[in-house]
Amino acid sequence: MALLLQYTLIYASVLMLVALGGCFSERSGVINLGLEGTMVIGALGGALVMKYMGDLPAALMILAVVLGSVIFGMIYSLLLAVSAINFKADQTLVGTAMNLLGTAAATVIVKAINMGENVNNVSSSIQYIDQRKAFSAFKIGNFEVSWFMILAVILLIVAHVVLYKTRFGLRLRACGEHPQAADSVGINVYKMRYAGVLISGFFGGLGGIVYITAGVSEWKFENGVAGFGFLALAVMIFGQWEPKLIGLAALLFGLFRALSNVYSGFDILEALNIPSAVYNMLPYIISLVVLALFSRNSRAPKAEGIPYDKGQR
């Protein structure tokens, strides 16, 4: 039971972080479908830090890992910002390209590193068995609290405050609802949208590193992040683009994702004899159902997905 709770919370943290990223980007008016790729690149950044700076003291290493993944994520999200904001590219297309590019680039980079060390090592995995131990903050019985869970809760509060209690948040939301109106009162729409996309890169990258350190001690980059970026977008829609609700939605989705990891620990579930593939499918089925129920009256930002053109009325 403790294990289920632990996995639920850690997966909920991942989904919440990435969904918050999507929320900031869409609130500024840019649809970020490239979150999946951003997660992979962020995870790569964090994993590289763990690989090369693994012998730092724990606190310093956590900081370095977080910084590494966040910086990688933000730089990667610039690909979307430049094309969608400056060049008015199709955001769905660019997002998809970023997802493919993220996995392909991470695989190529990791394989090149592995092969550089040992010619016969053609795997696309990075190991971080010892480094990963630093992330657990404290234990209550079997239940292990990770620093990332604490960080996720803090960031949730920060995200809410920034979006609803600051001038910056108000301006950001205005650009996603009616950029022309925002522009007419002197807000620089392009700058605001850049900020939104970069913040989503920040959260996406962080979510990536939390995801790959959640349950395992090595990550095979060829597999990407298995649709987690898209699950996060489902969480965001279910959470109606509001940080508070996103937090709750993430808990629900995290539970179903956690079930596929630990279902064998429950006698009742084990006795049902359902193939493991069904548990693997569960989060995706749930999100489809949830999307079907909640998309009709969605309160999506009105101007999302539409490139801002100064000359247009």
Residues of this chain that bind other proteins (CB under 8 A): 33, 79, 83, 87-90, 92-94, 96-98, 100-101, 103-105, 107-108, 111-112, 115, 119, 122, 124, 222-224, 226-227, 230, 233-234, 237, 275, 277-278, 280-281, 284-285, 287-288, 291-293, 295-296, 298
Helices (H) and strands (E) in the chain, counts: 13, 4
Nearer to other proteins (CB atom), residue 56 or residue 290:
290
Residue 313 C-beta: closest distance to other proteins, Å:
18
Nearest approach in angstroms of CB 119 to other proteins is 6
Q: How far, in Å, CA of 248 to CA of 246, rounded? A: 5
Provide, rounded to whole angstroms, the least separation between the CB of residue 281 and other proteins. Answer: 5
Mention every residue, 6+ apart, whose C-beta is less than 8 A from residue 39: 18, 73, 102, 204, 205, 207, 208, 211, 225, 228, 229
User: Closest CB to other proteins among 66 and 94?
Assistant: 94
- Closest approach, Cβ 284 to other proteins, in A, equals 4
Assess contact for 49 and 18: CB atoms under 8 A: no
**R_g of the chain, CA atoms, integer Å:** 20
For residue 81, what are its two tokens?
């910002």
CB 149 within 8 A of CB 213: no
* Residue placing its CB nearer to other proteins in the complex, 88 or 191: 88
| Residue 218 C-beta: closest distance to other proteins, Å | 15
Smaller CB separation from other proteins, 148 or 228? 228
Nearer to other proteins, 275 or 311 (CB): 275
Q: Smallest distance from the beta carbon of 255 to other proteins, in angstroms?
A: 17
Report which of 295, 106, 127, 98 is spatially closest to residue 197, judged by C-alpha positions.
Answer: 98
The residue among 48 and 79 lying less far from other proteins, judged by its C-beta, is: 79
The letter for the amino acid at 193 is R
The CA distance from 308 to 313, in Å, is: 10
